Structure 1
Amino acid sequence: MSIRETDTRIPRRDLPAAQIPRVLSVTSGKGGVGKTNISVNLAYCLSKLGRKVVLLDADLGLANVDILLGLTPTMNLFHLFHEGVDLKQVLMETPFGFSILPASSGVSDMLALSTGQKLDLLEAMDYLETRINYLIVDTGAGINDNVIYFNLAAQERLLVLTTEPTSLTDAYALIKVMHLHHDVHRFRVVVNMAPSLKAAKAVYEKLSTACDHFLSGISLDFTGVVPADAAVKSAVIRQKPFCALTPEAAASKKLMELAQTIDSWDVDAKLDGNIKFFWKKLLFQEQPLA
């Protein structure tokens, strides 16, 4: 995709001075919880609400956002870091109303970003500052350096769980590291592939109880439930968002409800001591010139 094509598809959009793009990380303690599927379909649903959305594939060494969408990018974040291409050359519009910043798969050089690369990415992302409403960051799983970095750079963290015990324990481990070592206090929780609302609430309550017992000052918001749905597997096989293929499916309806909930949030965009995406605008907003 050429620079000219990308610039045309995401034109400059002058947002109000006080408004900055909302940055939401979608994260998990372990793999296999459907985190990337949630990210892709959330991006789709927000775009259906009329928002300009970019989905950043931040699972840098094991990227699969493009696979779920049936796309074959010509460039990805590897080219940004190692070949000096512009962010707008990496940016790729999808047929589903949002754009992606694809990453590479099976490239060991991307498994741990250097401090310089992290700063380069933050600088490059300023291109999107006046062009989008949402940046969704699909992190890798676990508690490695890249996962922590992208979670800290977001304004809000959407923690994806399933009802499996390993999902619960690994989610707690991520919360613990983020809280004790990086002073992060708030997480939004979504239970995915839930067999029932009762089961979803039970696993959330177990996580909440563990945090209350062993960690102080943690805020866990029960944000949504996505039910187990055969339509999801079918959409994965067809490499399309399930919300686009089967909007009347139970999982699709719950994803749209989740998007509407997120769009209603009054996001706290203040700096918290951790460097953020679009930090320059955040800093200016907090400390206006006299």
Structure 2
Amino acid sequence: MRDRTPHEPTVLAVVSGKGGVGKSLLAVNLAVTWSREGRSVALVDADAGQGSCAYLLGHSRSVSLIAPPEGLHDQDEALSLLDLELARARTAYDLVVIDAPAGIGPGVRWAMDRADASLLVLVDEPTAAADAYALCKLVWTRDPAYPLAGAVNMADSEIDAGGVISRFSALTTHFLDRKILYAGWVPFSGTIRSSVRQQIPAVLTDSHAEHAFVDLARRVRCGVFQTLAPLAMN
């Protein structure tokens, strides 16, 4: 794994243990949020043949999308091409967000190896927690100092989100001797679901979603990973 500056990531991978938890939605809306703050942002869709970032972005062009050529389903070839694009993006953009494939396969390992830090998307669902734990185990077995924080998606309230992260952190602390830090939460919202159908990023249509993503973006950029820096440098 590459050397990292965990307290202020320039390349962030958004990951999840399984599909269907809103990972791509978070990646897209974080990228759009940072672009609205005046930063140049590239969004890398690393899911060859199954990526959804282009659909979720819709007509929003504030973010530069980097993705494998349409119709390319060979993951190894796609990741080789993305390596070239990512090398250029590191110097051409202020921030790069990688929407990693779900699970623990080669695609997610590729994304996390190339990122400065990763954001793990969690939801209040037992199977999702089990798969997220498997991802944490894989990552921290390879690199115990890897900077990884959790964001709770589709939560009914901030209290519920806190419960999800507390239970999951207790799990990783007990079995992996690592505590996953809390980056923020995104509410369960009919407006957010509608934004997906309309192909408009939720931060552009929903004030509650905008507030949640602005807070999440701020904590990721200059908050949550700072607490990991001393540990990562040991």
Q: Distance in 2 between matches of 1:125 and 1:24?
A: 12
| 1:178–1:138 CA distance, 2 compared to 1 (3 A) | same
Native 8 Å contact 1:185 1:219 kept in 2: no
Which residue of 1 is the match for residue 209 of structure 2?
251
Superposed CA deviations along residues 82-141 of structure 1, whole A, max 9, x for unmatched, are xxxxxxxxxxxx42x11111235774412xx26xx7566434433223321100000010
What secondary structure is seen at the aligned counterpart in 2 of 1:63? coil
Which residue of 1 is the match for residue 64 of structure 2?
99
Which residue of 1 is the match for residue 91 of structure 2?
130
| 1:239–1:124 CA distance, 2 compared to 1 (3 A) | closer
Which residue of 2 is the match for residue 239 of structure 1?
199
Q: Distance in 1 between matches of 2:29 and 2:101?
A: 17
Q: With a CA cutoff of 8 Å and minimum separation of 6, indicate the structure with the bigger relative contact order.
A: 2
Q: Distance in 1 between matches of 2:186 and 2:202?
A: 12
Identity %: 33
Native 8 Å contact 1:192 1:228 kept in 2: yes
Which residue of 2 is the match for residue 38 of structure 1?
26
Per mean C-alpha deviation after superposition, the further-off stretch among 45-54 and 119-128 is: 119-128
Which residue of 2 is the match for residue 263 of structure 1?
221
Which amino acid counterpart does residue 219 of structure 2 have in structure 1?
Answer: T
- TM-superposed CA distance for 1:239, in Å, is 0.5
**Runs of 5+ consecutive residues of structure 1 not aligned to the other structure:** 1-19, 72-93, 273-290
Native 8 Å contact 1:194 1:226 kept in 2: yes
Q: Distance in 2 between matches of 1:184 and 1:60?
A: 29
Q: Distance in 2 between matches of 1:219 and 1:122?
A: 31
Q: What's the TM-score, normalizing by structure 1?
A: 0.69
Native 8 Å contact 1:63 1:104 kept in 2: no
Native 8 Å contact 1:226 1:251 kept in 2: yes
Please show how residues 21-60 of structure 1 align to structure 2 within 5 Å.
22-60=10-48
Q: What's the TM-score, normalizing by structure 2?
A: 0.85
Native 8 Å contact 2:48 2:73 kept in 1: no
Which amino acid counterpart does residue 244 of structure 1 have in structure 2?
Answer: L
- TM-superposed CA distance for 1:212, in Å, is 1.2
Which amino acid counterpart does residue 229 of structure 1 have in structure 2?
Answer: S
Computed over aligned residues only, the root mean square deviation of the Cα atoms, in angstroms, reads 2.4
Please show how residues 107-256 of structure 1 align to structure 2 within 5 Å.
107-110=72-75, 113=76, 118=79, 121-216=82-177, 218-246=178-206, 248=207, 250-256=208-214
| 1:104–1:123 CA distance, 2 compared to 1 (3 A) | closer
Which amino acid counterpart does residue 253 of structure 1 have in structure 2?
Answer: H
For the pair shown, which has the larger CA radius of gyration, 1 or 2?
1
Native 8 Å contact 1:21 1:132 kept in 2: no
Q: Distance in 2 between matches of 1:37 and 1:153?
A: 21
Native 8 Å contact 1:21 1:129 kept in 2: no
Native 8 Å contact 1:186 1:220 kept in 2: no
Q: Distance in 2 between matches of 1:25 and 1:62?
A: 17
- TM-superposed CA distance for 1:211, in Å, is 1.0
Q: Distance in 2 between matches of 1:41 and 1:221?
A: 21
Q: Distance in 1 between matches of 2:9 and 2:167?
A: 33
Native 8 Å contact 1:62 1:104 kept in 2: no
